[in-house]
Amino acid sequence: MTTPPTTVTDDVRRALAEDVGAGDLTAALIPCDRTGEATVISREPAVVCGRPWFDETFRQLDPAVQIHWHVEDGDRVADDTLLCELQGPAHSLVTGERTALNFLQLLSATATSARSYADALAGTGTRILDTRKTVPGLRAAQKYAVACGGGTNHRQGLYDAILIKENHIMAAGSITAAVTTSQHLHPGVSVEVEVENLDELDEALAAGADIILLDNFRLEDLTAARQRTGSRARLEASGNIEQQGLAAIAATGVDFISVGAMTKHVRAVDLSMRFRKV
């Protein structure tokens, strides 16, 4: 089971600060002693994700709100599926509605996208990776969603892994210099190098890179890269990759395919919160 990140509380606190601020002026019209019941429905097929953020929204607003879930994060649902039921003070329900749904819609969209990519690679032995192309401030949340959807997380940020890209190579002087310096400064940390052709691949292999990112390689060059590399390094294909081309790329023998679109090009899942009684 994928574990939610430790950022949930802070994510929700920031979201409520920008949405509710000093108070919900419209919700103040509802008597404080009035209770309500509501349901959340998915209007389209999706992979559900975001329960911890949804729950935390109402916990921070009003612990008296009770939520009963019918699904778990990572579950596939059809359209018109009942996701959860809520009951509690009516003014708290209406105040938290948009903030809670924003998290649930975005993260379900990310998980749904990841699932579609993971399904396209099922049985190939190649894994789909996310990238750092995430919504600012919600990287841990979106990477959790990717995992819920069956994808694999790449590095969280610049602090937990080394990925030497074109600008690093230019500044360091060469692939060899960049890899050698990385190994000296951070022994034991995996070193990945982005290359743009087979000659750069050969240099990265000779320098001792652990993972090599093959940027915008043609299928025949991906195959050649696998043959040249053997078991000396793991290979990751990336760059303008469309979902319909995943199977062909996997057939070249690469270990990973990284796709920024999983987290960058998501469209919020259509969810609806409906009041049944106030």
* Element housing 37 (H / E): strand 35-42
Other residues' Cβ atoms within 10 Å of the Cβ of residue 115: 23
Among 132, 133, 232, 234, which one carries the catalytic annotation? Answer: 133
215 is catalytic: yes
264 is catalytic: no
Two structure tokens written together for 234: 């793991």
277 is catalytic: no
Among 11, 55, 130, 194, which one carries the catalytic annotation? Answer: 194
Reduce the DSSP state of residue 41 to 3 states and report it.
strand
Two structure tokens written together for 226: 């696998």
Helices of type H across the chain: 8-19, 51-61, 90-120, 139-148, 166-172, 175-185, 198-207, 219-229, 246-250, 261-264
Reduce the DSSP state of residue 81 to 3 states and report it.
strand
Among 98, 218, 228, 276, which one carries the catalytic annotation? Answer: 98
98 is catalytic: yes
276 is catalytic: no
- 71-75 CB contacts, 8 Å cutoff, 24+ apart: 72/48, 73/2, 73/48, 73/49, 73/111, 73/148, 74/2, 74/47, 74/48, 74/49, 74/111, 74/148, 74/149, 75/47, 75/48
Among 165, 232, 234, 264, which one carries the catalytic annotation? Answer: 165
Among 19, 44, 210, 215, which one carries the catalytic annotation? Answer: 215
The catalytic residue positions are: 98, 133, 165, 194, 215
